[in-house]
A and B are shown apart, each in its own frame.
Chain A
Amino acid sequence: MLSSLLEIYSFQFMQYALAVGMLGGGLLAFLGIFVHLRRIVFLGAAMPQVIGLGIALAVFFALPPLGGAVFGGAAGILILSMLSGQRRISNEGWIGLAYAAGGSFSVVLIALSPAPDATVLRFFTGDVLGTGLYDLYYTLAVTISVGLIFFWFWSRFVMCGFDPSMAMALGIKVKFWDALLFFCLAISLSVIMNTAGGMLAFSMLIGPPAAALLLFRDFKKIIITAILTGSLAAFVGLTLSFTHDLPGGPAMASSALLTVPLLYLVQKLIAAFTSLIKKFTD
């Protein structure tokens, strides 16, 4: 088995895809913990659509897609934060509008775009096997930057999410830290989406952290489990895509989502086994 794996990953394109998938999977799984705990999963779903619109705009105007992705992510967060708190339409309503607008306008722009279909579609369905060295550099740079920011200011992010009023009373600038969280989220999604597609990005953002939150009630364990599960799902998905001739992005996305029922089952089995042992020993 090891020799088969070594053979699969002897190809350079597979090495790049694995590195980007595992880094991106771990990064998004980590950020996804905040997406779940702050109950902003719908925002996580809307962001790839808005970023997709940025990519479509960039393709339409023959500009670099990564620039479009970053622009789409940053502009989306900025506009949504300006509109939040508006009393006549709820925040969910604005996010829903962003989701719908991002999805539909990007398809229209793609239809009008002079770029070849396959090039454009790569950004939406994901072609992780097409990643190159620069994609790896971008993903690595974003992962290190976001990791350092959270390592340095961990308690600020938790305090602002858990109870903003108390955080403000402590003199913490809640709006700034919230903006930084959303910016990290937007940049991370932009880079991963540009490399591996929206479906993979959203699945990594939601699946592995959900599995970790189901298993544990301790932050350290949740973080470690989410990152490991995200990275491992990328590895498993990519390997299966090679051995079974499946599309890389969707295979990795499916692996990320399958971690939820799988880890839930493991948790239930462990609980049943523990109670059985306890019953016999009592």
Chain B
Amino acid sequence: MSIIEFNSVTLGYANKTVLEDVNLKVEPGELFGLVGPNGSGKTTLLKAMLGQLKPWSGSVNWKTTSSRWGYVPQREQVDPIWPVTVQKLLRMTVRSTQTAWIFSKEKPEIVEQVIEMTGLKKFSNQTLETLSGGELQRVLLARALVVEPDILLLDEPTAAMDLVAAAHFLDLIVKLHEIWEITVVLVSHDLSALADRTDRIGILRCGNLYSGPTDSMLTSKNLSDVYGRSLKVEKTTDKTVIYPD
């Protein structure tokens, strides 16, 4: 059974329709990429997946209502004015999934494991405003992981990261996906990065979603249609490079 299933879903805000007749199945354990130009509805679709935006028509079904969701927003959404260290933030996140603060448990072993895995050990006692953009993004990933999610949703996590930091971050996601067998939905503008790392891709264009295996979706023709200019897809032995012609 699909972990998330959209059946003829229409989504929008106020009087504006953003996405129409969306049909999508995200299967357990897959790494699904989502691409599209600015304003095409990527974040809208993520919000519907999270249950934060109700469809105007159609239905969104989840495998179980008890699934744990990990959400990694763009780092600009987080306000570093909050006086918490990395470790305290992660512990607080674990506790906030439980009912009452005084009876909740911090599960330090999970927190330590995630800190280790995301390479945050040397920053664990630092407050958020002292971290660089890439480090803060890793903290947000760690925060999504400490709840031991079944599904991980990432909204343009590498936006505004330099090339090397972005590659490291995406490799970490792939590693986590393989080791923890987490279902991942990854929204990104970096087409080349998605081409080599995802199982399937969804492309948003003119209010519609087209999805399929990554190889068959990320073609020059499809991408040129979506972005309105000629894009080249070149494959070497171990890499796919997508660039404007």
Contacts and interface: CB of A to CB of B under 8 A. Distances in A.
Interface of A: 37, 39, 87, 151-156, 158-159, 161-163, 165-172, 213, 216-219, 222
Contacts of A163: 73, 77-78
Interface of B: 14, 50-52, 68-71, 73, 77-79, 81-85, 88-89, 92-93, 95-97, 100-102, 104, 127, 140, 143-144, 147, 153
A147 B69 CA distance: 31
B89 to A, nearest CB: 8
A161 B78 CA distance: 10
Contact of B101 (A37, A152, A171, A218): A152
B96 A159 contact: yes
A141 B120 CA distance: 44
Given A151-B101, A152-B100, A166-B73, A161 B82 contact: yes
A168 B50 contact: yes
B15 to A, nearest CB: 11
Contacts of A159: 92-93, 96
A167 B89 CA distance: 13
Contact of B88 (A37, A151, A168, A219): A219
Contact of A169 (B70, B81, B85, B92): B70
Contacts, number: 80
Contacts of B81: 37, 39
Nearest to A38: B79
B50 A169 contact: yes
Contacts of A152: 100-102
B102 A151 contact: yes
A154 B88 contact: no
Nearest to A158: B92
Given A39-B81, A222-B83, 5 more contacts: A156-B96, A156-B101, A163-B78, A169-B153, A219-B83
Which secondary structure characterizes the binding site on chain A?
helix
Contact of A162 (B50, B71, B82, B102): B82
A216 B85 CA distance: 12
Contacts of B96: 155-156, 158-159, 167, 170, 172
A167 B147 CA distance: 11
A170 B147 CA distance: 8
B147 A155 contact: no
A75 to B, nearest CB: 26
A-B interface, 7 closest residue pairs, ranked by CB to CB distance from nearest: A169-B71, A155-B96, A169-B69, A217-B83, A159-B96, A154-B101, A155-B95
5 contacts: A37-B81, A166-B71, A166-B140, A171-B97, A219-B84
A162 B78 contact: yes
Nearest to A163: B78
A132 to B, nearest CB: 35
Nearest to B72: A166
Nearest to B49: A169
A218 B100 contact: no
